[in-house]
A and B are shown apart, each in its own frame.
Chain A
Amino acid sequence: MGFRNTKAELIAVLESGQYGHELRDVQEERNLLAVGEVSAEFVISLLRRSRGND
């Protein structure tokens, strides 16, 4: 699966709210989305601006 497809799938999942975090990633410095430090909307906007070679 290419970058564009994966990106589209990830954005769709984030928009739907149907996702979970692995607990070992719920360390506040590493997974800012899991602890609400950044919002799903912020991650989506970041993904939308990203290219495969970033």
Chain B
Amino acid sequence: MKILREGERGIGLATDDRGWVPVTYRYRSVRLEATGIDVPNVLVGVDDENDEILVIPSQSTPRLKVAREQVKEETIQVKVPHELDDVLVVIADRFKANPKKFTPALLRYYLSEASESRRLCGRLVKLAGRPIARGKTGARLSFRSSLAFRNRVKKASSFVAGANLSVLTRGAILAAKEDLIDGKSKSRTDRFEALAKAL
């Protein structure tokens, strides 16, 4: 795939009766009508004569895709006992990572894995039944999630009786403690070691 550069020339079909006309590729904002999103810095082919945007090259599609997906994202909020919030900070500290960045990735990982594994899902539900996970909920966790992610969590909830987002999240925190702090899973520890470095 050839990556076009700003200032390169091409052709585009004019919106009036001029047919194919020369265009120059420039970075502009593109408005997506259905969602009303203005996507900045999109490389587009601009009509040399009247400055109208005529062409969107294929390399600009991922940028439009990301902008549309961000709109679809919502924030998931779960209330957990303070002690579990402490566990999350301890885990982030273990990997020398910023908890604000590390925690959402950690929770998304476990919840996503639980949607693929009935066994893990069962483990999370079991862990969520421990007294430490059933204390007074005073801390609020929130992280952004896509529609696809929320659908995966729904799928996990159907695996085991009593599984829902709140239960799975509390279980995920304790599973992460067992795996990453207590040394139960070397492979997951290695994975989060690498993730922490990348954040």
Do the two chains belong together in a single complex? Answer: yes
Q: Chain A interface (Cβ within 8 Å of chain B)?
A: 16-24, 26-29, 33-37, 40
Check B33 against A16 for contact (C-beta < 8 Å): no
Known pairs A17-B59, A19-B57, A20-B57; list 7 more (Cβ under 8 Å). A17-B1, A21-B56, A23-B44, A23-B55, A33-B61, A36-B64, A36-B66
Q: Cβ of A22 and Cβ of B61 under 8 Å apart? A: no
CB distance from B12 to the nearest CB of A (A): 7
What CA separation (Å) do A9 and B66 show in the bound complex?
29
Q: How far is the CA of A14 from the CA of B51 in the complex (A)?
A: 27
List 19 A-B pairs, Cβ < 8 Å: A17-B59, A20-B57, A21-B55, A21-B61, A22-B55, A23-B30, A23-B54, A23-B56, A26-B64, A28-B68, A33-B61, A34-B61, A34-B64, A35-B61, A35-B64, A35-B68, A36-B65, A36-B68, A37-B65
A17 touching B58 in the complex, CB below 8 Å, given contacts A26-B32, A35-B32: yes
Whole-angstrom distance between the Cβ of B25 and the nearest chain A Cβ: 9
Query: Is B80 in contact with chain A by the CB < 8 A criterion?
Result: no
Residues of chain A within 8 A of B56, CB atoms compared? 20-23, 26, 34
Say yes or no for B187: interface residue by CB 8 A criterion. Answer: no
A38 to B34, CA, bound (A): 16
Known contacts A34-B61, A34-B64; decide if A20 and B10 are in contact (CB<8 Å): yes
Q: Which residues of A lie under 8 Å from residue B45 when comparing CB positions?
A: 20
Give chain A's interface secondary structure class. Answer: loop
Known: A16-B1, A20-B12, A23-B44. A28 touches B34 (CB 8 A): yes
A26-B32 Cα distance, complex, nearest whole Å: 7
B19 on the A face (CB < 8 A): no
Q: Across the interface, which residues of A come within 8 angstroms of B53, CB to CB?
A: 23
Give the residue name and chain of the B residue nearest to A25 (CB): B56
- The CA-CA distance from A40 to B57 in the complex, in Å, is 13
How far is the CB of A18 from the nearest CB of chain B, in Å?
6
Q: A17 with B2: in contact, given A34-B64, A35-B65 (CB under 8 Å)? A: yes
Contact B55 A18, beta carbon cutoff 8 Å: no
Query: Which residues does chain A contribute within 8 Å of B54, judged by CB atoms?
Result: 22-23
List of B residues within 8 angstroms of A26 by Cβ: 30, 32, 56, 64
Residues of chain B lying within 8 A (CB to CB) of residue A18: 1-2, 58
